[in-house]
Chains A and B, each alone.
Chain A
């Protein structure tokens, strides 16, 4: 009984080590990929993964060896599988060592072991009397935490200043203020150029024309890939069509979600189907309330798709290492042109060519109307042409402005602490996430609501000015 408890506790300890290592390793790998060389991040992540799989297999091998399944054929089989897996793992490790930077790989491999050591040390520390003496006293605990933070801060600063590569490069990538930042020292300056050669080709010469566009905004996964493989054709392709890639990725995600939700429809929905149905019903009711119950349902698929797609694109930029496609004028102009063509098509189809012309002339019915028609025609044409421009500029300006706001405050958070060349800072931009969420939803809504109103204006029964008896006639029908 006692032995069982000890095993369980050990396993629980291992599970906690696994969780900590996964998260810590992921974060460190991402940071290394951003601030140092992307390949280094990849190598670090691979090392952590390798080590974690190794630990898992060890656990698999050891538990049947000492647990209750010991000696049974089942246990032997499990041990055999684990050993076979370890054989494969070591082969993979050899390949990785040949392919990637050994230093990063080995440090990634060491991370779970370090986590084990630190966790064991804290377990001893937590039981000791000195620790409870510090923790139980409020002021002592505060002072200790402050001292720890200060020591960590300056230790990091000393480490980065001592010439380990990423500091200045990281600051440049993250905030784009490398030009103004004072060089922390010759050593660091050298080191920046050397590893940054591939990744920071643009950052190495911040004055360059071409780097201007890439400098602003947060770095994203495609820029990282392009930095990791500077000579690969596919990386160039991805970087060039970055926005398209992201928007197609979003379309793909939406497609998969829609497929999963509608794959096995139930009469009483649950889970994903429930959520998706809620969204669809809400959107359907919303647009039908604008266009009207008779004509509305026809346009719900187009408008609803537009809303969900734009909302996803707006929100996509808030995910770390992603980028909002709608923060580019290309995407918004494409969307607005789609809407323009669709609305004109609806007009042609519903009104007929003559009716469309009549609509463009301002629907003249009396002498004044016909006299005003030559003036109304250019006004209407201009109005129609202004719609896509205002739609696209509004969406682009809002989303781009939001992203720029976040970037500006993030770089403010970093440059507020300029005395240490560390790519860390106060996350000032976190305050603006609610604003960005609100703005994203609002702009997606505004775009689709305006589209539905343009459609409404093109539909035959609405464009007459004589509201009174027209509306009455409508009701009579």
Chain B
């Protein structure tokens, strides 16, 4: 397998794998936040803020894969 084939196979796959991880993480974050809001609706604003921050952190991982894809796209 030469570099081109490896890259064109690996880059989309890499994004997909990263997206799986991010998706699981986001799901857990959302679950936790929803349960917390359900338990304490008066704290909705604070919980939402924390949820968004952590969701951004989790989502960043996929974005890193995405950026890597664009960095390496020129070599395909």
Residues of B within 8 A of A393 (CB): 60, 63-64, 67
> Among the listed A289, A390, A445, which residue makes an inter-chain contact with B52, where contact means beta carbons less than 8 Å apart?
A445
Residues of A within 8 A of B63 (CB): 393-394, 397-398, 401
Pick from A15-23, A347-355, A357-365, A446-454 the stretch touching chain B: A446-454
Residues of B within 8 A of A445 (CB): 52
Q: How far is the CA of A390 from the CA of B60 in the complex (A)?
A: 7
Q: How far is the CA of A396 from the CA of B67 in the complex (A)?
A: 8
Q: Is A8 located at the chain interface by the 8 A CB criterion?
A: no
Interface string of A432-462 (1 = CB under 8 A from B): 0000000000110110011001000000000
Nearest Cβ on chain B to A132's Cβ, whole angstroms: 56
Contact A212 B74 (CB under 8 A): yes
Nearest Cβ on chain B to A326's Cβ, whole angstroms: 13
Residues of B within 8 A of A401 (CB): 63, 66
Contact B67 A397 (CB under 8 A): yes
With A390-B60, A393-B60, A394-B60 in contact, is A453–B53 under 8 Å at CB?
yes
Nearest Cβ on chain B to A436's Cβ, whole angstroms: 15
How many chain-B residues does the 8 Å CB contact rule pick out? 14
Q: Is A290 located at the chain interface by the 8 A CB criterion?
A: yes
Residues of A within 8 A of B13 (CB): none
8 A Cβ contacts from A53-76 to B: none
Please, which residue of chain B has its CB at the minimum distance from the CB of A209?
B74
How many chain-A residues does the 8 Å CB contact rule pick out? 18
Q: How far is the CA of A443 from the CA of B57 in the complex (A)?
A: 11
Q: Is A400 located at the chain interface by the 8 A CB criterion?
A: yes
Q: Is B9 located at the chain interface by the 8 A CB criterion?
A: no
Q: How far is the CA of A290 from the CA of B70 in the complex (A)?
A: 35
Nearest Cβ on chain B to A416's Cβ, whole angstroms: 22
Nearest Cβ on chain B to A414's Cβ, whole angstroms: 22
8 A Cβ contacts from B19-52 to A: 45, 49, 52
Residues of B within 8 A of A394 (CB): 56, 59-60, 63
Q: How far is the CA of A117 from the CA of B45 in the complex (A)?
A: 60
Contact B52 A449 (CB under 8 A): yes
Please, which residue of chain B has its CB at the minimum distance from the CB of A445?
B52
Contact B64 A449 (CB under 8 A): no
Contact B56 A446 (CB under 8 A): yes
B residues near A, CB below 8 A? 45, 49, 52-53, 56-57, 59-60, 63-64, 66-67, 70, 74
* A–B Cβ pairs within 8 angstroms, 11 of them: A393-B63, A394-B59, A394-B63, A398-B63, A400-B70, A442-B56, A443-B56, A445-B52, A449-B52, A450-B53, A450-B56
Given known contacts A290-B49, A390-B60, A446-B53, what 9 new A-B pairs fall within 8 Å (CB)?
A289-B45, A393-B63, A393-B67, A394-B60, A394-B63, A397-B64, A443-B56, A449-B52, A449-B53
